[in-house]
Amino acid sequence: MSPDQLAHVAWELIAQDKGLLAIDESIGTCNRRFAALGIPQTAEKRREWRELLVTTPKLRQSISAVILSDETIRQTTGDGTSFLSLLADAEIIPGIKVDAGTTDLAGHPGEKITEGLDGLGARLDDYARIGARFAKWRGIITIADGLPSRGCIEANAQALARYAALCQQAGLVPMIEPEVLMAGRHDIARCGEVTEAVLRAVFRHCYEQGVALESAILKPNMVIAGADCPAQPGLDEIADATLAVLLRAVPAAVPGIAFLSGGQPAELATARLNAMNVRFLGRMPWRLTFSFARAIQQPALEIWGGQRDNVQAAQAMLAHRAECDRAARGGGYDPTMEGEPHSGAPSPALIR
């Protein structure tokens, strides 16, 4: 795929005020979520759940692309139709998660490095051959006393850049996901400080590795306080803190920024994205959208519960969450759109 074609795919991912649905959880992560709801942790149940997701009516109205895992990209519906065929028919772009998960970073207690670079070029060629058009790699950064270390930031940034260069060589758009985790008691200022340092390192390494930023998408965390921080900021403070970091650290050549949800409650992730677009729409060099997993999936998963009779209701909830997120992309989301949300509305103090 030529550089111009890659850049075109990158723009398609963020076009028409749509966003991305991530269904790329590892088998272990998917099984843990099933176990919490009493759903059998089997390959067949995982297939049924993902079939529910990719066959949701009108999904294409809000979702431009879906991120798959190695298991999911090879799965089919009960009647034998491949998920890739279904997505193609719906004009939804298929992508693939290609990292091999995290492991302890040697010499850095409490920190992780993402693995999977060995043999990645050949795997990317295979995924491109079977129909993937973009890929995703996640690096994680923990905030704690004395963490993150410079060594951890640099190691993960370099891995993300090497992955991105290999993607473009294979004709795939790289989605670059450096995630500063929500876990911890840190305040929003500390999250902003770390997020900016991480993003600066990522793009410095991207330049060094020859990554064409016009053909890449960034998937970062929002700048928020740690989940256990007693002082939780409101929507406007989060919007201002997040955009302050992005405007300082993300080159204008990047066409789009697709936020991860990172464990935020569904309605709150939507409201926070909306606040950013309300306050900064037209003042940013890139487009802000969503690439949510749990924030779209979880309410529907709770309704489905592994029961065939609940498929239609679960799909209605999935479509609703995607529609709310699409509204937030244009700054048009309002909490009244939620009606009686299945998973509970955000605190009024957080939606001002």
What single string gives the DSSP state of each residue in 178-200? EEE---SS--HHHHHHHHHHHHH
Q: How confident is the model at residue 1 (pLDDT cuts 50, 70, 90)?
A: confident
User: 25, 48, 219, 267: which is the annotated catalytic residue?
Assistant: 219
Does 345 score more than 60 pLDDT?
no
Taking CA atoms, 199 is separated from 17, 225, 253, 272, 282, in Å, by 24, 18, 14, 20, 22
As given in the structure block, the two tokens for residue 122 are 């050949």
Instruction: Give the mean model confidence (pLDDT) for residues 249-263.
Output: 97
What does the CA dihedral 203, 208, 210, 213 come to, rounded to 10 degrees?
10
Q: What is the pLDDT of residue 340?
A: 58
Q: How confident is the model at residue 29 (pLDDT cuts 50, 70, 90)?
A: very high
Q: What is the pLDDT of residue 97?
A: 98
Does 144 score more than 50 pLDDT?
yes
Q: How confident is the model at residue 341 (pLDDT cuts 50, 70, 90)?
A: very low
Q: Which helix (H) or strand (E) element contains residue 127?
A: helix 120-130
User: 177, 179, 196, 267: which is the annotated catalytic residue?
Assistant: 177
Mean pLDDT of the chain: 95
Instruction: Give the mean model confidence (pLDDT) for residues 164-193.
Output: 98
Taking CA atoms, 277 is separated from 257, 262, 287, 325, in Å, by 12, 19, 9, 11
Q: How confident is the model at residue 339 (pLDDT cuts 50, 70, 90)?
A: confident
Q: What is the pLDDT of residue 343?
A: 41
Does 314 score more than 60 pLDDT?
yes
| Contacts (Cβ under 8 Å, ≥6 apart) of 138 | 97, 99, 114, 177, 178, 179, 219
Taking only the tens place, the pLDDT of each residue in 58-97 is 999 999 999 999 999 999 999 999 999 999 999 999 999 9
Q: How confident is the model at residue 57 (pLDDT cuts 50, 70, 90)?
A: very high
Q: What is the pLDDT of residue 12?
A: 98
pTM of the predicted structure, to 2 decimals: 0.95
Lookup result for tokens 């256990």: 228
Does 322 score more than 50 pLDDT?
yes
Distance CA 99, CA 181 (A): 17
**Other Cβ atoms closer than 10 A to 251:** 15
Active site annotation includes 112: no
Instruction: Give the mean model confidence (pLDDT) for residues 155-177.
Output: 98
Active site annotation includes 111: no
